[in-house]
Amino acid sequence: MKISKSPSQRRSEGFKFAGDVVWVGISGVLISCFGVLTLPALTKSYGTEQYGVWVQALVTVGLLTPFLNLQLSTAAVRYFAGQTDQKLRGTFGTLLLVLVLFSLPILLISVLAKTDLAILVFDNTKYSLLIPVIFLWAGTASLFTYTASYFRARRRLRTYSIFQLVSSGSQVLLLIVLAVRGFELLSIFFSQIAVYITCIFAMLTLVAREIGLRRPHIPAAKKYLRFGIPLIPTAIVNWILASSDRYFIVHYLNLSQSGIYNASYSLGSLVSLVFTPISFVLFPFISKFYEHKELQKVKNYTEYSTRFFLATAIPATVGLYFLANPLLKSLTTSTYAIGGLLTFLVAAGTVFFGMYQINVYHLLLKEKTVLLPLLTVASAGTSILLDILLIPRIGIIGAAFATVASYALLGTAVTVWTYRNFDYRIDFVFLSKSIAASVIMGICISVIAVNNLLQCLLIVCIGSAIYLVTLFLLRGFSEADKTLIKELLQGIKNAAVNRGA
């Protein structure tokens, strides 16, 4: 028999969801701020070619990590939440051992084939010594991702966020110190690896104290591998969508152009700060609701998540168009400031990718993982084709156009599937008002001169105020929205009072 919940219980779920989103969002913002700090440290210390080498190393780690991880981190989030401590203590260690055993021969291959791989990654054999280090970096990143998934699956998001903040902050701090003191990139690579290893041991110690660890039993991993392995092609294809354009830029143009492109791409992808905490928190929540047959809650949480994401991401995209050049000049050198169009296109593509990230979990709920490779391969094929056609003709701006087109295809396809299978709705009236308010905001801030980073931050505040006031005047907020905001603010206030007491 289905037990109905009181209004206070339903509100507590909403407060928990909103609180987790805020917590993960704040940590995500701080981590992104850490990442932004690497721009001046690297671009001003090493020049465009060496920064291009760093970019290629990062995107290669991004390619290898989901492959070496066997997507067992996603499987962990899907299944660990419903397991008892007794069952989990055996499963956790088993999957960890599987990842270690799988990574070792891959690392050996990287040593034996480092010259050929250097040509593929850098289009230059003089960086061949970096290849095994990059593979080791990816291996430790995959173990870190899996180990941290334990805390996400158990909805220990504060603990998860703390480890993410510590690892990212430590990596960036070491990077800045080493870059400013003139160390080679190889030293920076090893510093990233060292931080991952330290955090992995710290997390394993905490897991062992909480649930204990039993002797691994490899056959028990079959269920998780069956779920995770079909997701590997999807993860790799997602990498193609997000990062393969750097490879095409390197081979069609050069490492310097890859570095210049990545600087603008980094700004445009800041829109991911909006959807990342939402989708991150949304998955374990709707997984729980789906397992308990509470489909209306799955629908409601998805619709409000989408609404909030679009209401925030659209004005952010418009604002980045006008602030791209001042930000790049402040954070890097004038070489990297090439106008706002590239950043705008990347940001627009990131909006579509955000729609994909919020809705893709619904395929996982229905265990339709076999559909993901079909959707993502079509999108990646579009990206590759457009990169080949456009980059030789119009340079790095062609890669940005390819990003928008491929993400638009992917985001639209997954959203339509969710719409048909979960009775999912998008409020297009609200969407049109959000776009109108964003355009008005953009016109207003376009007439204000911006010359430094402090002025950029001031414009962000002014633009946000203009957008919110305009959206309010256009009656973009419904009565339900206002009630929900009041309840969430009251819940946050009550929580603060209780803690203070």
Residue 271 lies in a domain: yes
Residue 18 lies in a domain: no
219 plus 288 within the same structural domain: no
Domain boundary residue among 180, 203, 229? Answer: 229
Distance in angstroms (rounded) separating the CA atoms of residues 185 and 56: 12
Residue 501 lies in a domain: no
- pTM above threshold 0.85: no
301 plus 279 within the same structural domain: yes
188 plus 263 within the same structural domain: no
289 plus 156 within the same structural domain: no
Residue 477 predicted with pLDDT over 80 = no
Q: What tens digit of pLDDT does each residue of 363-403 get? A: 777 767 677 778 888 888 899 999 999 999 999 999 999 99
Which pLDDT value is given to residue 23? 62
- Please state the separation of Cα 352 from the chain's center in Å: 13
The structure tokens listed for 85 are 């401590």
CA angle 120, 242, 227 (to 5 degrees): 95
Which pLDDT value is given to residue 114? 92
Which pLDDT value is given to residue 390? 94
* pLDDT (average), residues 47-59: 85
Residue 352 predicted with pLDDT over 50 = yes
257 plus 181 within the same structural domain: no
Which pLDDT value is given to residue 473? 87
Which pLDDT value is given to residue 495? 44
Residue 21 lies in a domain: no
455 plus 320 within the same structural domain: yes
Confidence class for position 330, pLDDT limits 50, 70, 90 = confident
Distance in angstroms (rounded) separating the CA atoms of residues 317 and 268: 8
Residue 408 predicted with pLDDT over 80 = yes
Pairwise pLDDT comparison (88 vs 330), residue with the higher score: 330
| Helix axes of 114-122 and 130-153: crossing angle, nearest 10 degrees | 80
Distance in angstroms (rounded) separating the CA atoms of residues 479 and 270: 30
Concatenating the DSSP letter of every residue in 133-152 gives HHHHHHHHHHHHHHHHHHHH
User: Other CB atoms closer than 10 Å to residue 253's CB: what's the count?
Assistant: 18
| Helix axes of 272-291 and 341-365: crossing angle, nearest 10 degrees | 10
Residue 12 lies in a domain: no
214 plus 276 within the same structural domain: no
Confidence class for position 278, pLDDT limits 50, 70, 90 = confident
Residue 34 lies in a domain: no
52 plus 83 within the same structural domain: yes
Residue 1 predicted with pLDDT over 50 = no
154 plus 53 within the same structural domain: yes
Which pLDDT value is given to residue 496? 44
Distance in angstroms (rounded) separating the CA atoms of residues 222 and 213: 19
Q: What tens digit of pLDDT does each residue of 160-202 get? A: 888 988 998 899 899 999 998 989 989 999 999 999 999 999 9
Domain tally for the chain? Answer: 2
251 plus 209 within the same structural domain: no
Identify the domain containing residue 180 by its residue range. 42-229
CA-based R_g, the chain, Å: 23
204 plus 298 within the same structural domain: no
Pairwise pLDDT comparison (198 vs 217), residue with the higher score: 198
- Nearest CA to 271 out of 353, 161, 168 is that of 353
Instruction: Write the burial class of residue 346 (CB in 10 Å: 0-12 exposed, 13-18 middle, 19+ buried).
Output: buried
Residue 36 lies in a domain: no
Domain boundary residue among 229, 263, 290? Answer: 229
Residue 26 lies in a domain: no
Which of these ranges, 4-13, 221-230, 240-249, has the smallest mean pLDDT? Answer: 4-13
Domain boundary residue among 229, 263, 298? Answer: 229
Confidence class for position 317, pLDDT limits 50, 70, 90 = very high
205 plus 312 within the same structural domain: no
Q: What tens digit of pLDDT does each residue of 116-133 get? A: 999 988 888 888 999 999
Pairwise pLDDT comparison (500 vs 399), residue with the higher score: 399
Confidence class for position 32, pLDDT limits 50, 70, 90 = low
Per-chain mean pLDDT for the chain: 81
Mean pLDDT comparison of 333-337, 375-379, 466-470, 491-495, highest-scoring range: 466-470
- Nearest CA to 342 out of 268, 405, 250, 270 is that of 268
Pairwise pLDDT comparison (10 vs 222), residue with the higher score: 222
